[in-house]
Amino acid sequence: MKKTGPILLLLCLALICILALTGCTEENEKVETGPVKGHSDNLVAVHYPEERAVLAVDALWIDRVSFLDLPFKHFFPGAIEGLRIIEDLDFDILLTGHGVHGTGGGAIGVKEDVREFREYFEALYDKVVKAREDGLGKEEAMASIKLPEYSHLDMFDKWFKLNIKGMWFHMYGE
């Protein structure tokens, strides 16, 4: 059930958001929400244990590197911890607001997608920290950091160097 069209996904997301915001769930259904960090410090993940589903709209992309140079306010390493929180939930279905590039909608994924995105961010974070510790500047880090194990992710060739630049900016302010 991986990846879907934008119309179906938007309908699913809208329904889940309405249920979460209004509390209009079945009488015995348990819904859990909690803050996670990502491109803000107050994102909310909604966990539906009965359905074994999680709604994590802005926390991650499925099968893709992060957007451009991480232009929104990101919190590192807090964003990585936010992904761990989601990953630790018991679920089979992941609904995101970000997904297949160019579809204009999100995607439906699985727990493995959270793990892969977290590991990508961890690897990127670690490489940027190491580059700085080794005395490299931002431009040198952008030229030297490699993560070929993630080259299968969509937009890697276009956005990976920009992801390095964004990580550097959010960590060191330059």
Give per-residue pLDDT as tens, 30-56: 555 556 666 666 677 888 888 888 888
Q: What is the Rg, in whole angstroms, of the alpha carbon atoms belonging to the chain?
A: 17
What would the pLDDT profile of 10-22 be if each residue is shown by its tens digit? 556 565 565 555 5
What mean pLDDT value characterizes the chain? Answer: 79
Q: Is pLDDT of 58 > 80?
A: no
More confident position, 67 or 94: 94
Please report the pLDDT score of residue 59 as a whole number.
79
Percent of the chain past pLDDT 90, that is, above it, reads: 38
Q: Quick one: pLDDT band at residue 1, thresholds 50, 70, 90?
A: very low
Which has the minimum average pLDDT: 28-32, 42-46, 98-102, 140-144?
Answer: 28-32
The C-alpha atoms of residue 39 and residue 75 are separated, in whole angstroms, by: 7
Q: Which two tokens stand for residue 73?
A: 């306010």
Please report the pLDDT score of residue 35 as a whole number.
62
Query: Which of 23-37, 74-88, 90-104, 128-142 has the largest mean confidence?
Result: 128-142
CB neighbours of residue 50 within 10 Å: 11
The C-alpha atoms of residue 94 and residue 69 are separated, in whole angstroms, by: 25
Please report the pLDDT score of residue 121 as a whole number.
92
Q: Quick one: pLDDT band at residue 157, thresholds 50, 70, 90?
A: very high
Q: Cα–chain-centroid distance for residue 100? A: 13
Burial of 134 (0-12, 13-18, 19+ CB in 10 A): exposed
Over residues 137-150, mean pLDDT: 97
